[in-house]
Amino acid sequence: MFSGTKDFMGKPAPAGYIAGLGRGATGFTTRSDIGPARETSAAALQKEAQATTGDDGGDDERYNDDPENESGLFSSLPYDADDEEADAIYAAVDAALANRRKKRRDTQDKEQKVSTDDQPAKLTDMFVDAKIELRNVSVDDWEALPEAANLSRRKTKKDLGRERFVPVPDSVLTTAHHATQVDATVPMGQADGTHTDFVEMGAARDRVLGVRLDQVSDSVAGQTVVDPKGYLTGLNSVLHKSDAEIGDIKKARLLLKSVITTNKNHAPGWIAAARLEEIAGKLVQARALIAKGCEECPKNEDIWLEAARLNTIDNAKVILAKAVRHIPTSVKIWLHASKLEGELASQKRVLRRALEFVPTSMTLWKAAISLEENPDDARILLTRAVECVPLAVDMWLTLAKLETYDRAKAVLNKARKTIPTAHEIWIAAAMLEESQGNAANVEIVIGRGIQALANKGTVLPREKWLDEAVECEQSGAVLTCQSIIKHTIGMGLEEEQFKKTWMEDAETCTEKKCYATARAIYEHAVMALPHKKSIWRRAAFFEREHGTREQLLHLLERAVAAVPHAELLWLMAAKEKWLAGDIHGARSTLAAAFQANPASPQIWLAAVKLEQENRDYDRARAFLARARDQAGGEPRVWMKSAVLERLLGDLDAAIALVQEGVMRFPMFAKLWLIWAQVEEARGNIAAARDVYAKALKSAPTSVALWAQSAQLEERAGWEAKARVILDNARMVKPKTPLLWYEAIALEKRCGNTSQARFLLATALQECPAAGLLWGEAILLEDRPQRRARILDAIKHCGESDLHVLLAVARVFWAERKGDKARSWFERAIKADDDYGDTWAYWLRFERMHGTAERQAEVANKCVAAEPKHGEIWPRVAKAVENTGKSIEEILELVAAEVKTTV
């Protein structure tokens, strides 16, 4: 029973059995059987087996077609009454389900049909029936169909060759000509004795249209809705709403109808419903709805105002008249009713009637007073207004402005008693005293006012008082402004905060152009902190920019008296007197400065400059001699002494002074430069070269010494030696843009543009943020690539680098873009107005492309700026032959020397 041999072993396989078919295996044959190998599918093998056995699988097909067919499974069982009852129940359930599905299918078919009708039919759906009928077309009929012609508008070369043109007959042209004409009369053959004029018929049509338009009227109070003149024009502005918008309007209409039906006293619902009809273009229904809403909500002012808006002016007057009967205290309705009146008298009458019902409304009083043209009538109304509205500060102040001085004081006193916490009344009283010239009373009133407010518990912040001071200045009450600043600027501040806070307040007021307020702050600051030199200095700078010379001199006199050791203040005072032409006063100021600061080199040098400008060289020499004795520790004294001797032509004395000076101050490069320049002026190039060699040993870090030494060799014709000096300088002082610039300028002067560009590229790698080098890079670049170079320069140096801005201005100048060039020159001046070359380039540009007014403006601004630096400016200004020349003359010389092309 449990032997290892299976019972089917050695027996033949059943009919149609294929090994491995249930696992998806397929049979195959090899080349040794029938040739090349081929893969045979399981279905093919099964079909072959069925053909061999004669079994077509009919029962399987019958069973597989209908899973519920039980004839093959239970055909032998008896069919009793229970089975019949069950089949009847199942049949009833199937019928009910089929009926339900049928209704659903019908609904879906209708919806699909509607959506199909709304959408354009597809091309494939339009010819479905024709495609179905194509099945009946025979081959012969298909072959008999003609070939499709070329119905496109494209013409081939063959068609162009066959194209023909035929002239149009004259009869066709005559017929077309008569067809476009309109005969105003009926032909004689058809006349019945009357004459027909089509022009008169057109005029009659217009008259009929006008009559019909006049007959169109509204159901609300018989008001005409249609404007006959603008009706036809209005047709063009009619908005055609889409189906979605119409559906939204219908839904909103139903919703709002429910709102006003369930709650008739809800005014916003009536307003919304009326506005919906207005949006829908149904103005008549909107007016009807809002009229109904006014009946239901007579105590709501918004619904009356909406009704007035929807109606014409005449109807709106009637509606608002009804409204004030229901709501006589509504300020909005009275104001709207007054605005609807066309005449000024009618508006006054409405507002005065309103004040009878609402005498405490400040809005109505202001509206009524603003309509009065006569000051006496306005004063009468204001008198009554302050009685009805005693807490209205504006009313009291306006009434005080309309009264005389004595009566205004009485009004303000009464207002002060009525409203003791109003600071505006005290400020108005101070302004009243100032207007009468009572300067002493202004400060008394402000002081008492601040004390009275503090007693009542009203303490305004310091910022609020500062704003009031600014408003007083804008109103012209400068004394009141100063009094407010004096009494309130220190509120809430500790003593350590005074200086910083007050300077910030003054700068803020200066930025707002409130100069009187800023001056008052500075005045209070120097009075409270008289020994702070920085406050005096800032106040002096403020007066120099925004004040008069007299104010500045008065401030400086007080400053040097309070801070006698402030050298800058002494120098400013002496300079202002010298500029004013008071030479004796300037000398007196410097003499007083000597007494206060006997060892100050700045004061000694200022005295020397004063005498030198006045060409009193003997006094200048005497001052310098005394300065070398008393302030000999300042190298600039020795430098000025040598410069004066060189100016006077005594070169030996100049050399002696600089030799003594370099022994005292070997690191001061300017003394070495003067020595070398004097030797070069004497024609002794070798001595000048020796001076530079000694100077570079004593002061190797001075860039000016390296640059001037290289320029000396270049002027002597030794360009190679100049290159070596600049190379050594860059080794001693690496990453110095000026040394790179000198090397590039040397190559440019020698004509080696390619070498200059190579040096410039190397320099930009070493000094990527040097504006001096980027400006040269812009000018060295070819014209098409300059814009890209400008963007790179701005990216690396920012938008405020002087040299980049000047280079861009010169580029626009070369491209003949005058407005852009002028704007970039202005930007360069704002970046640094001490660079004299910028002023020279700008003046040269205006000389070529500007007007005389612009040229004078540039020159005046340059004189005010007093530039001292630049590439060309210092060399021209410090030349011996230009000594004593004014800034304007130096500007003209530099402008003549600058280049006009790039």
**DSSP three-state, residue 194:** coil
Assess contact for 740 and 763: CB atoms under 8 A: yes
3-class secondary-structure state, position 781:
coil
Specify the length of the chain in residues.
902
Q: Per the structure block, which two tokens stand in for 618? A: 């003997």
The HSE-up count of residue 647 (CA atoms within 13 Å, CB side) is 19
Q: Is 181's pLDDT higher than 70?
A: no
Distance CA 871, CA 892 (A): 15
The values of phi and psi at residue 447, to 5°, are -60, -45
Tens-place pLDDT, residues 886-896:
889 999 999 99
38 strand-pairing partners? 29
Residue 676 pLDDT exceeds 70: yes
pLDDT at 726: 92
How does pLDDT run across 609-629, given as a tens digit for each residue?
888 877 888 888 888 888 888
Q: What is the mean pLDDT of residues 433-453?
A: 89
**CA neighbours closer than 13 Å in the CB half-sphere of residue 767:** 20
**Rounded Cα–Cα distance for residues 320 and 335 (Å):** 10
Q: Supply the pLDDT for residue 136.
A: 79
Rounded to whole angstroms, how far apart are CA atoms 629 and 622? 11
Q: Exposed/middle/buried for 21, CB within 10 Å: 0-12, 13-18, 19+?
A: middle
The token pair at 332 is: 């909005």
List, in order, residues 6 or more apart from 530 with CB less than 8 Å away.
562, 563
When the pLDDT of each residue in the chain is averaged and rounded to a whole number, the result is: 81
Type and span of the H or E element at 233: helix 231-235
Mean pLDDT of 144-149: 70
Judged against a pLDDT cut of 50, whether residue 255 lies above it is answered with yes
Instruction: Provide the angle, in degrees to the nearest 10, between the axes of the packed helices 685-698 and 669-681.
Output: 170
Q: How confident is the model at residue 776, as a pLDDT?
A: 92
Rounded to whole angstroms, the Cα distance separating 765 from 185 reads 96
Kindly give the interhelix angle for 313-326 and 331-340, rounded to the nearest 10 degrees. Answer: 150
Q: Which of 136-150, 348-362, 422-436, 676-690 has the lowest mean pLDDT?
A: 136-150
Overall average pLDDT of the 200-224 stretch: 55
39 DSSP 8-state letter: E
Q: Could you tell me the sign of the dihedral formed by the alpha carbons of 604, 606, 611, 612, in that order?
A: positive
Average pLDDT over residues 780-788: 88
Ordered alpha helix ranges (H), 734-868: 737-749, 753-766, 771-780, 786-797, 802-814, 818-831, 836-849, 852-865
Nearest CA to 322 among 301, 343, 348, 341?
Answer: 301
Instruction: Name which of 555-559, 762-766, 876-880 the model is least confident about.
Output: 876-880
Contact present, 605 and 637 (Cβ < 8 Å) = yes
Q: With 0-12 CB in 10 A as exposed, 13-18 as middle and 19+ as buried, what is 258?
A: exposed
Asked if 94 contacts 102 with a C-beta cutoff of 8 angstroms, the reply is: no
Report whether pLDDT(81) > 70.
yes
Each residue of 839-869: pLDDT tens digit?
999 999 999 988 999 999 999 999 988 899 9
**Which residue segments constitute the domains of the chain, with CATH numbers given?**
243-372 (1.25.40.10), 833-901 (no CATH)
So what's the pLDDT on residue 5?
A: 56
The end-to-end CA distance of the chain, in Å, is: 118
Query: Could you give the residue ranges of the DSSP H alpha helices within 648-718?
Result: 651-664, 669-681, 685-698, 703-715
Helices (H), 733-752: 737-749
pLDDT per residue as tens digits for the range 726-736: 999 999 999 99
Q: How confident is the model at residue 631 (pLDDT cuts 50, 70, 90)?
A: low
Written as six digits, the tokens of 392 are 């209205």
Angle between helices 393-402 and 405-418 (to 10 degrees): 170
Q: What is the mean pLDDT of residues 497-508?
A: 91
pLDDT band of residue 178 (cuts 50, 70, 90) is: low
